[in-house]
Amino acid sequence: MQEEIIISGFGGQGTLFAGQLLAYAAMDSGHHVTWIPSYGPEMRGGKARCTVIVSDEEIGAPLVRRPSAAIVLNIPSMEAFEPTIKPGGTLVVNSSLVPQRSERDDIRVIYAPATDIAEELGNARMANVICLAALVEATGVVTLDEVKQALEDHLPARHRKLLGLNKEAMDKGAALAKAGGGG
């Protein structure tokens, strides 16, 4: 098994954190992993993305040109990465911020109103973990429990008070994927 995943959005949306969390969950469960962040010079609002490769075997090259899955948190990310996903792959779209629909019928698309759900939970910055949980549930790259454990093991002390809320957000994201993700 080798999954090549792109997580993309604006700076400040937690794209790098979501990728790092996925990488920790995969690494902690015994997989080979690469995590490569990429971001513009702006503190917030610029382009931010990361690639994560999770494999049962050693990873020959960390570059991802045709991802097997992607999370897109904004319109420019949808436009850039939706066409690149391999047939049979998975796309998770933050439909709160991305109104357009994919025209592809050869990939699984999960429309997650993640920002809206995160705001209902009281913290709009949780949209990233909602989408991550939807991706994990849809692809099986790691289990949701492994992601939750990685969050518990690696969440910085200054954010520990958000642990329960993050886990609740993840449950909502996973439920979207289980329900088919048409929202």
Q: Can you tell me the mean pLDDT for 124-152?
A: 93
Helix (H, G, I), strand (E, B) or coil at 85: coil
> CB under 8 Å to 170, separation ≥6 — which residues?
129, 130, 132, 133, 144, 147, 148, 151
Q: Which helix (H) or strand (E) holds 50?
A: strand 47-55
Q: How far apart are CA 76 and CA 4, in angstroms?
A: 20
Q: How far apart are CA 121 and CA 173, in angstroms?
A: 12
What pLDDT digit, counting tens, does each position of 70-104 carry?
Answer: 999 999 999 999 999 999 999 999 999 999 999 89
pLDDT at 99: 93
Return the domain boundaries, the chain.
2-178
108 has a pLDDT exceeding 80? yes
Specify the pTM.
0.90
pLDDT at 65: 84
pLDDT at 41: 64
What pLDDT digit, counting tens, does each position of 142-166 carry?
Answer: 999 999 999 988 877 887 888 888 8
Residues 50/103, Cβ–Cβ less than 8 Å: no
CATH tag, 2-178: 3.40.920.10
Q: Can you tell me the mean pLDDT for 25-36?
A: 94
